[in-house]
């Protein structure tokens, strides 16, 4: 039996970036906050409560425990990068970008 998919059979080896060799690491605080957020998201998703509120132009979890882990992570990023850098790097497509840059 022959099947035709319409796809051209070709192969190209994937190219990867070289392994990092520098000594730069994320601060322990950032890693700890991200781990708490990941744990909260996992629990939220596993319990079937994984929706987000994006009415303010950015996403926040509807689950109170996840949101409670989300906010300190965002506040840390704002303090570390500054509000303008955070907005430019993380929210370039935000509906309220101009309002948050003011």
Neighbouring C-beta atoms of residue 73, cutoff 10 Å: 19
- Give domain limits for the chain: 28-101
Instruction: State the Cα–Cα distance between residues 80 and 10, nearest whole angstrom.
Output: 45
Instruction: State the Cα–Cα distance between residues 102 and 89, nearest whole angstrom.
Output: 16
Where helices occur in the chain by DSSP H, the ranges are 28-46, 64-81, 83-90, 97-101
pLDDT digits (tens, 9 = 90+) for 36-87: 999 999 999 999 988 999 887 778 999 999 999 999 988 888 888 766 665 5
**Region of poorest pLDDT, from 20-24, 27-31, 35-39:** 20-24
In terms of phi and psi (left: phi > 0; alpha: psi -120 to 50; beta: otherwise), the region of 7 is: beta
């Amino acid at each position: 039996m022959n099947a035709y998919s319409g796809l051209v059979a070709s192969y190209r080896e994937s190219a990867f970036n070289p392994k990092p060799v520098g000594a730069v690491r994320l601060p322990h605080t950032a890693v700890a906050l991200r781990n708490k957020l990941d744990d909260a998201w996992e629990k939220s998703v596993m319990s079937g409560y994984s929706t987000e509120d994006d009415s303010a132009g950015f996403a926040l979890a509807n689950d109170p425990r996840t949101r409670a882990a989300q906010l300190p992570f965002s506040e840390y990023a704002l303090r570390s990068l500054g509000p303008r850098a955070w907005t430019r790097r993380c929210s370039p497509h935000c509906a309220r970008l101009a309002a948050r840059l003011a």
